[in-house]
């Protein structure tokens, strides 16, 4: 079983390396420069790919959180924690690249625009989720408590996605909308191909990080359980 897992990790790694080189070529050489924003627009490919993986990671957290509420399971607890850490990482990247985009597009680092605000709320929810997982106590109790935050965060993902439509935001671009222009969301075919490959590559990175993160989280849980047993013995 360990040999199969190790083989999968190697396959993912060897697929990731050339994919990232191809992605960099597509972004900085092959795809055209946007007329209005110029080279700064190319951060768009990292921004959208990171946002997609953040949403995917939080949906995975939500799935395992629901299962943990129904019946706590160590495997589900570990996968939820690993996916949450990755989700927070990519949400941070999304916010940072969005601020860079905003500085070039809106001439300000931050705007209280619906999608930015809801994304920031999502980030805070999952940071709280990670803090809860580090609380002292049995993993069953921590799993149930953290699962509530995991589900709330997952329910916030559709709100983030639909924010610019529900609140009729004119600032944030709609990526797959109709029409041309910065607010309409239409993009050239080369840009679309680059964007889709970016989403694919960063998704592949998520799978790789998820597998590695689950291994690390499993070791954390084992160490914490051994620590709790030792403390209980000393207390008695």
Number of domains in the chain: 1
Note the pLDDT of residue 2: 67
Identify whether 220 is part of a domain. Answer: yes
Note the pLDDT of residue 100: 85
How far apart (Å, rounded) are the C-alpha atoms in residues 28 and 24?
6
Note the pLDDT of residue 17: 92
Question: What token pair was written down for 69?
Answer: 């509420």
Identify whether 195 is part of a domain. Answer: yes
Identify whether 6 is part of a domain. Answer: no
How far apart (Å, rounded) are the C-alpha atoms in residues 221 and 227?
10
Is pTM beyond 0.85? Reply is: no
Residue 125 parent element (H or E) = helix 114-133
Note the pLDDT of residue 112: 77
Identify whether 19 is part of a domain. Answer: no
Query: What is the full per-residue pLDDT of the chain (236 aa) written as tens digits?
Result: 667 777 888 899 899 999 999 999 999 999 988 777 778 788 889 999 999 999 999 999 999 999 998 888 888 989 999 999 999 999 999 999 988 887 777 777 777 777 888 889 999 999 999 999 888 777 778 888 889 989 998 998 988 878 767 666 555 555 544 334 444 445 788 889 999 999 999 999 999 999 998 888 888 777 777 777 777 777 76
Residue 177, number of CB atoms within 10 A of its CB: 15
Identify whether 37 is part of a domain. Answer: no
Spell out the residues 6+ positions from residue 55 whose beta carbon is closer than 8 angstroms to its own: 157, 160, 161
Range(s) of the domain holding residue 130 = 43-175+184-235
Contact in structure between 97 and 107 (CB atoms under 8 Å):
no
Note the pLDDT of residue 179: 39
Spell out the residues 6+ positions from residue 144 whose beta carbon is closer than 8 angstroms to its own: 68, 69, 72
**Burial degree of 9 (CB within 10 A; 0-12, 13-18, 19+):** middle
End-to-end, the C-alpha distance of the chain in Å comes to: 39
Identify whether 30 is part of a domain. Answer: no
Question: What token pair was written down for 118?
Answer: 């809801």
Note the pLDDT of residue 180: 40
Identify whether 2 is part of a domain. Answer: no
Note the pLDDT of residue 85: 93
Note the pLDDT of residue 206: 95
Identify whether 206 is part of a domain. Answer: yes
């Amino acid at each position: 079983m360990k040999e199969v897992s190790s083989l999968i990790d190697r396959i993912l790694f060897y697929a990731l390396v050339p994919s990232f080189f191809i992605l960099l070529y597509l972004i900085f050489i092959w795809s055209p420069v946007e007329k209005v924003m110029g080279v700064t627009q190319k951060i768009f490919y990292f921004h959208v790919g990171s946002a997609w993986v953040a949403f995917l990671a939080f949906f995975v957290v939500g799935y395992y959180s629901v299962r943990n509420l129904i019946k706590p399971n160590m495997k589900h607890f570990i996968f939820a924690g690993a996916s949450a850490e990755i989700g927070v990482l990519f949400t941070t990247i999304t916010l940072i690249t969005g601020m860079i985009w905003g500085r070039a597009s809106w001439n300000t680092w931050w705007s209280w625009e619906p999608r930015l605000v809801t994304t920031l709320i999502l980030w805070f929810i999952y940071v709280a989720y990670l803090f809860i997982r580090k609380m002292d106590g049995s993993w069953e109790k921590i799993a149930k408590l953290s699962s509530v935050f995991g589900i709330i965060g997952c329910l916030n993902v559709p709100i983030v996605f639909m924010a610019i439509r529900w609140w009729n935001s004119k600032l944030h671009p709609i990526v797959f909308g109709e029409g041309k222009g910065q607010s309409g969301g239409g993009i050239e075919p080369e840009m679309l191909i680059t964007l889709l490959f970016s989403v694919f590559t960063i998704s592949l990175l998520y799978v790789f990080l998820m597998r590695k993160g689950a291994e690390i989280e499993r070791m954390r849980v084992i160490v914490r359980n051994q620590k709790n047993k030792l403390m209980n013995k000393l207390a008695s």
